[in-house]
Chains A and B, each alone.
Chain A
């Protein structure tokens, strides 16, 4: 039985939420940005896109293209709340919902069609529910696999509904540029072009052995992609692979070469990482410190503990072992701390009283912060901590260790 897969893509998600919230922004070219003065554009409204404004531009760059552009400083909690409401709507039609990013999801509705009608009918219902309850539009693609469903949702934006029926797959793929497929980026497109392959039709007919010789193991997969074949399953929420690392990074309020000031950032990041690890019952034995200079050169160094930890202070002390001997060549614009080598559900009880006291203190602090909010009780040196609203990581998910409250 052919599968029926939906891909839903929220249209200019953050900008649309802001336009729904504030009537004065509707129909206007707006961009959503972070709060720092060096921030970049995270989303542009369709009105701004018409001027050539794109995600990743700086605001001055965008204003050159669109002098009437309006800048809105984003509130990530608002967008994660909207995402949760939208996921709840998807869940009414199938339990098989895979959150691909904060504004995209796949659904396998093969088993739901008898209840609600075919794939196109479910897509129409979902679009109607989202418009009515959240006030937003989305583009939905319906096809027999994830690759084609995503391709279909990209074909009509905004507010589209595109179905690729199985009998139309060859026709759709024949002249489609390979770069339109999810997973084939500019570099791969260039390499394929060097082999004389520019369309999916050509990719599907290419020699599997030639593709494997050039690209290794993914060569065979590329040929299947060219044919519109994708056997990958929709991985519902909760069935994701266990986390390999837990980390946070932040662009600093201003570039700095002051190591004392940077140490405060490292402590804040370590506390955030430790808190998220404890909340999700993880410990880890390898700490990685990442620093990005003002010229965007980025360095990472790692160190392994003798035993796994999840206490913010332990993580900080290890990160400082990496940071203290580091000779800064220039000012730093971004710092990051992550812990890998994770083990879940650790049950080790320390033999030493000091360790047990520290664990009790951490548990008490967690309990207070659970009740009254993050950083209600924390180290004195973090009272003046950095509070800028970060950018939502692509790995964000509504539940589990990848769920970050901003």
Chain B
């Protein structure tokens, strides 16, 4: 049986759920190290991108992070001091 997949697509899930995050702070930098989502702990192996946006007065610091096989979009709301998960990119092979 061949190991080749017939096709591969990304499934993007938009979410807005509060999560618990462990982050490492160094001068001028904040890096998420792990997060708890739906009862499971995800270790962040790489922060691939970080960017900022505003929602009203709140400044949101967004991170694209790799944990396991998937890429997650999480963000920190500086106004509410809360972390949210905003999306998951899952590689799905058929």
B13-60 residues at the A interface, CB under 8 angstroms: 46, 48-49, 51-58
What is the CB-to-nearest-CB distance from B53 to chain A, in angstroms, rounded to a whole number? 4
**B51 with A81: CB separation less than 8 A:** yes
Q: Convert A347-383 into 0s and 1s, putting 1 for each residue whose CB lies closer than 8 angstroms to a CB of B.
A: 0000000000000000000000111111010000000
Residue of A nearest to B53 (CB): A77
Chain A positions within 8 Å of B62 at CB level: 78, 81
Set B10, B51, B58: member contacting A24, Cβ < 8 A: B10
In the docked arrangement, what's the CA distance between A22 and B12, Å?
12
Set B46, B49, B57: member contacting A17, Cβ < 8 A: B49
Q: How large is the interface on B (under 10, 10 to 19, 20 to 34, 35 or more residues)?
A: 20 to 34
In the docked arrangement, what's the CA distance between A135 and B56, Å?
28
Contact status of A23 and B48, CB under 8 A, knowing A370-B57, A373-B55:
yes
Set A22, A77, A370: member contacting B71, Cβ < 8 A: A22
Task: Please tell me the number of chain A residues within 8 Å of chain B, measured between CB atoms.
Answer: 23
**A20 with B53: CB separation less than 8 A:** no
Chain B positions within 8 Å of A23 at CB level: 46, 48, 66, 71
Contact status of A370 and B51, CB under 8 A, knowing A21-B64, A21-B71, A78-B62:
no
Chain A positions within 8 Å of B71 at CB level: 21-24
In the complex, whether A208 has a CB less than 8 A from a CB of chain B is no
Chain A positions within 8 Å of B58 at CB level: 373
In the docked arrangement, what's the CA distance between A72 and B9, Å?
11
What is the CB-to-nearest-CB distance from B6 to chain A, in angstroms, rounded to a whole number? 12
Q: Convert A19-46 into 0s and 1s, putting 1 for each residue whose CB lies closer than 8 angstroms to a CB of B.
A: 0111110000000000000000000000
Q: Convert A222-258 into 0s and 1s, putting 1 for each residue whose CB lies closer than 8 angstroms to a CB of B.
A: 0000000000000000000000000000000000000
Set A21, A81, A373: member contacting B56, Cβ < 8 A: A373
Q: Convert A76-95 into 0s and 1s, putting 1 for each residue whose CB lies closer than 8 angstroms to a CB of B.
A: 01100110010000000000
In the docked arrangement, what's the CA distance between A17 and B57, Å?
26
In the docked arrangement, what's the CA distance between A371 and B57, Å?
5
In the complex, whether A73 has a CB less than 8 A from a CB of chain B is yes
Chain A positions within 8 Å of B55 at CB level: 372-373
Set A20, A22, A135, A369: member contacting B89, Cβ < 8 A: A22
Chain B positions within 8 Å of A73 at CB level: 12
Contact status of A21 and B49, CB under 8 A, knowing A370-B56, A371-B57, A372-B57:
yes
A17-B49, A371-B56 known; 10 other A-B pairs, CB under 8 Å?
A22-B48, A23-B71, A24-B91, A70-B9, A72-B12, A78-B62, A81-B53, A370-B56, A373-B58, A376-B56
Residues of B near any A CB (own CB < 8 A)? 9-10, 12, 46, 48-49, 51-58, 62, 64, 66, 71, 89, 91
Can you pick out 12 interface pairs between chain A and chain B where the beta carbons lie within 8 Å of each other? A21-B48, A21-B64, A73-B12, A78-B51, A78-B62, A81-B52, A81-B53, A81-B62, A135-B49, A370-B56, A370-B57, A372-B57
Which 5 pairs from chain A and chain B are nearest by CB? A373-B56, A21-B49, A81-B51, A21-B64, A373-B55
